[in-house]
Copies of this chain bind each other. A is one copy, B any other.
């Protein structure tokens, strides 16, 4: 395993330090942590509900890349594929609370759920009002290696975008948590892998696939999915994933949003080809896609593959997805 790093144990603090140094007008480190908080001029004056997310590292630009005006107030980075500690999350909550409470956006992984819950208790002891929403958009499997229920994956970034826009517009904590849960309920994702990710401290891929095989239904921590099959042309892959996802929506009328997400080791070129096939097929099915996005948004280290997220979206959500933000990664 060749990597451009120094010591394996310094990966996360050095990454966060690099991110902050290259974006000083956007974010700053919360002292003594690997969490970052907004550092833009508007932050102090906006007086909004704080929005905090976080999780293990290795999914960049998630979450630190989504901190900024109109999206997250702060993000907490754990070690690679490892939940941040409760005290780090607690520091992030304190850094963003402006007296109107704080919403926590948590991906459904057992470690994250537990540690964000402990941080919530610590903050509540300080009389900071906290609500939590748990993203579980991955429809490929029920329960998983590190999860009770469905996993939280790429749909998280759409939840962060909509909730962040609503928080900026002045929505209160209770309504914000309700909105977030509604968005989660309408957000469905499946991912495929051509090659598993290599965790730097481990040094080899999490699982092996033959030269012509892909895995359907992977998670973002090398969790295996529901089937291994021969690779197919992009348009067939698109049609299969769309079929599975659209089955989750009983009402196929109204507006939809689409995210084609690269897992880290798959080129933008392939992501656009896949997106072209996805949008052609949805168009054939008369699905009204009003927002779409393509890119490495929620990665899994160097995993090769893509995920497809489809959201049945209220028109007000489409508007919020399109609003400009000042972040590194959106």
Contact = CB atoms under 8 A, between A and B. Distances in A.
Interface of A: 2-7, 11, 14-19, 21-22, 57-58, 60-61, 65, 194-195, 211-212, 214, 231, 233-235, 237, 260, 264-277, 279, 292-294, 296, 299, 301-302, 304-306
A286 to B, nearest CB: 16
B267 A301 contact: yes
Contact of A276 (B2, B17, B292): B17
B268 A61 contact: yes
The residue among A233, A266, A269, A299 with the most chain B CB atoms within 10 A of its own CB is: A269
B264 A267 contact: yes
A57 B269 contact: yes
Given A4-B194, A237-B4, A58 B276 contact: no
A304 B6 contact: no
A112 to B, nearest CB: 19
B194 A275 contact: no
A250 to B, nearest CB: 27
Contacts of A270: 3-5
Contacts of A19: 272, 294
10 contacts: A2-B211, A2-B231, A4-B194, A4-B273, A11-B273, A14-B277, A15-B276, A16-B272, A21-B275, A60-B269
Contacts of A296: 268, 296
A220 to B, nearest CB: 14
Nearest to A280: B21
A277 B10 CA distance: 12
Contacts of A293: 22
Contact of A269 (B2, B15, B273, B304): B15
Nearest to A283: B21
Given A11-B273, A276-B21, A234 B6 contact: yes
Contacts of A292: 21-22
The residue among A2, A233, A272 with the most chain B CB atoms within 10 A of its own CB is: A272
A49 to B, nearest CB: 26
A276 B12 CA distance: 12
Contact of A60 (B60, B268, B301): B268
Contacts of A60: 267-269, 272
Contacts of A260: 22
A20 to B, nearest CB: 9
A276 B24 CA distance: 13
Contacts of A279: 18, 21-22
Contact of A14 (B21, B276, B302): B276
Contact of A195 (B2, B195, B212): B2
A42 to B, nearest CB: 14
B2 A212 contact: yes
B6 A233 contact: yes
B272 A233 contact: no
Contacts of A17: 272, 276
A264 to B, nearest CB: 6
